[in-house]
Structures are given as structure tokens and as C-alpha cells.
Chain A
Amino acid sequence: MIFLERISLALVILAACRSSPVPAGPISIIDDAGDTVRLAVPARRVVSLIPATTELLFAIGADSQVIGRTSYCDYPDEAKAVPNLGDGIKPNIEAVIASRPSLVLLYNSGQNAGVSGRLRELGVPSVRLNTDALSSVPRVAQMLGKLTGHQRAADSLAAVFDTALASATQPQRTRRPKVLLLVWEQPPMTIGRGSFLNELVERAGAENLFADVAGTDGVVSIEAVAARNPDLIFTTAEGPSAFASRPEWQVVPAVRDKRFLHVTGSEFNRPSPRSPLAIRELTAQLNRGTR
């Protein structure tokens, strides 16, 4: 008996070392909402209702296991071939169930607590994740790796991400350019400390004009912007564009001198493996702008 046990143990250890996509044994993780989720085998049919996780699933090689996405899941291009199950903000449980998933990935919002419970009643495990911070990329990637049987790929992605992030992060300079992160113009809204865009900008070597705003976003006045006098005004593809020509904005020197930093590209919409690239892009633009 002891001999058999030793052989079994050795076999288990051997099996764990192999890089097969289907490791042995049940999977158990604790999601960001504190729930313990158990799967007997890695999930073969995953509905990803978060754009960040859709991107990550493709990045760790689990693309064939993704059977549902949201309308905001726009990267990579191959993701667009996956069936669209709605905007994901208020998940359509019927549509999700109809695709017969073995795992559903939900954003960790208060609303989705109810959705998660409902799915559990219907026999579908779901995992709630916080995907707002840059630090979520390696963490969530590794969780997804366990859940889908791509642990090795996930681990290497995490390692690569950490290195790339570290190397893309600019050293702290004494004089950093002040950037206004303008996401809406009527009323004028900016991004605060709590947002990942803030982190991107700071790692790129600039300073958020409204770093004292604690939350993710807030309404500000043009007067506050003018008084703080940003060096650059940052906007994304979905952000405002008309403000530059409006007379009340001309009080801000950066608007008068047209010192704008405009980025298109979904790598600025969410934390992802492309974030280090986004940081490099920003750094390049900043250096151009302040030359």
C-alpha cells in the first residue's frame, strides 16, 4: 500500500510538472468578491463579461474557450468573432445561460452580486473580478490561467507584464509635466487618483493635474483648471473634442497654445497586457510635447 501511495504521489508530482493544458485535480480559487469558486475541470466554455478578461483570455491562449463577450470587448480583433451577449453592465442572464457556459466572468459591482447568485442557482459558476487597477493584470491573469487550464501561459504573461511595467515606468523626476485628464466637457470632468489612467500617466512620468481628487472621476470647473495651469491636456478617443474652440476654455494657456495629448486605442480604456506599451506611448508623446 505504501508503495502504491508513493507511486501515486510521484505520478501526481510528475503530472503537475507537465505543461499540458489539462492538469489533474479540481480547481479552487477565491474571487475578488471573496467567494470560493470550485471547478472540477478547467472551464471549456467561458463567458467573459469584462473587456479586460476577454483580452487576457486571448492573451493566455484560452481563445477557443471563450464563447461569449460584451459589446465593449474590442481587443484583439479575433474577439469580435465571439458572440456578443450585450453590454455587460446589466448582464442578460437569459442570453448567458442560453450559451451553456461552464464559467462566467463578471465585473465585481454591487449589481453583479445578484447576478452571481442567480447564476449559481441555475448551476453556473461565476467569478467576480476587480479589473480597475494595473495590479489586477497579473493577478487576474493567473486566476484565469488556473480556471481555464493555461497556468503556464498565465504565469509567463504575469512575469513579462511585471518586467515590462517596471521598465516602462519612468523614474521620478523633480519637474514632471502636469497633465489634465479631461474625459468630458459638459460638464468638465477629470480623472482622479482612483483610476488606472491616473496610474498610467504617473508611470509615464507626468503628474495628474487633479491628483488630489480621491475617486475615479469628478466634475471640475474651468477656473480650477486655469489656476492649476496644466502643461498638457490629455483626451482619449471617446472624450471631448469641441472644447478647444470654445471661448471660455481659452483662459487655459494649454488650450490657447494647443498643447493637446490625444490618444486613440483601446489600450487606454482598461488595464491589460498592453498597458506597458501604452505607458511608453505616453512617455514618447510627453517628451515630444514638452520639448
Chain B
Amino acid sequence: MILQGRDIAVRYRPSAPLALDGVTCGVAGSELVAVVGPNGSGKTTLARALLGLLPLERGAVSVDGRPVSSWSRRALARVVGVVGQQEEAVFRLTVAETVMLGRYAHLGPLAAPGELDRAAVSAALERCDIVDLADRPVDSLSGGEWKRVRVARALAQEPRVLVLDEPTASLDIRHEMELFELVRQLVNGGLAGLVITHHLNLAGRFADRILLLDRGVVVADGPPSAVLSRAALSRVFDWPVAVTTWSDGSPQVVPLRAAEQESSP
């Protein structure tokens, strides 16, 4: 496990209830873990806790065996690449310049980029299939292209873990699939992948393991076919669903409409 959290408890304000209560979660190389759950279940909180951005009331997070607090931000950035939910660019950089910013973790503020850095950037651009966008200014990109640029930037860090927070938000089918295929390829290539998503079906198709959260607690942790069960999902999402199986064996969730609910067992 490169990224591991044990019995994590997080409370945002002294008077507030626990946002996370005893969550254990980890991800290893070549493994794609999806974290799902209803709004407010603590998905993003978990991601931030695992990245050492939140003070823990209880529990510990370790990166590559060492406590996350012992890592400097720069050293951590060499191991963990993060693609956040949203980002707005204020200054008009090109795609290549943006991806090069991912090398900060290796270069620091002063050093000039060298061969290694340029190679890492090229590799990242290629893997994300945006080489022909390299000189385009970032404000001329579509939503899907911008997402891929940010993934490329995270890859330029040459991390061993890739964390994505709601990467398919506001993407259409094609871009959703392209993104998940990309992440799957990267994970197959050795990266550890942690994806926070509300998209149950994509999680079912692509993830090796799914973590189902409900109000700060882990309800289920296992392969998609085990976690995405009708009973568990209906209870956690407070809405009746049906679960079918697609031809590749992955469970697909269909939320039921009012008429359908009566006829379902």
C-alpha cells in the first residue's frame, strides 16, 4: 500500500459531528480504487485527509510507509499526483507550460528545466494524447481537454499514486470514457489510482475495488460485484435501485422510477 489511512476520524469544527469516523482505506500499485457514496458522505474529506491536508482527530495516514506529516510538500508531490475537481486558470499559459509546472516537485523554485524534465513532460503529453495541443493556450481548451491537461501535469510529477477527485464532473460520455480508459491504462502500467466519483457505473466498469462511504463511515470495501449490491445501495443512497450485470461481468446500477418501485421486490 503506497497510500494508507487507518481508522481516520476528521472533525471540521469542535461542535460539528465527525465528517469521517474510523475510515480505513488504502491503495497499492497497479490497483484502481473508487470511492463512492452520497453527497456529504465524506468522499472529498477522505481524499484531503489522505493527502495530509486535514488535521486528524484520530487515526494515521502513511505514504510509502512513513506518516504523511513527515513528508515535505515537495517530497510528497513526487509520490502523489492529484487532479482536483475544478481549476480556473488566471494567466494564459500554454498546455506545455502548464504540464511543465508539474516538474516543480523535482525542480524546486530555482533550477532550470533539463533533459529529464522535458522528457517527463513529453511522456505525460503523449500518454494523455494531447501532444498536438502543446502550444495551445489553456483558455482555448474544452472541458475534456483541460481535464486531460491537468492529468498530464500530475503525470509529469512522475508520481506513484494518482488521486482524482470527481474527474468526470461536467464531461460528456466520450470524455468520461476517454478519461477512465486513460486512468485504467496508467494503473495497468503500475500506478496506484484513487478516484473519488459519484458515477457508480463507471466505477463498476473500471475499478478493481470500490469503497462505499455513508456519513463518514465505510459501509463496504471490496470488488465492484460485491459492493454494488441492490440492498446496500438502496439503503445508502436512500433510493431504490436495481443492479444488472453487463457483458464483461461488471455490475451496472439503474435507479428506479416511482412506477417501477412497486413492481420490484
* Any A–B CB pair closer than 8 Å: no
B residues in contact (CB < 8 Å) with A: none
A residues in contact (CB < 8 Å) with B: none
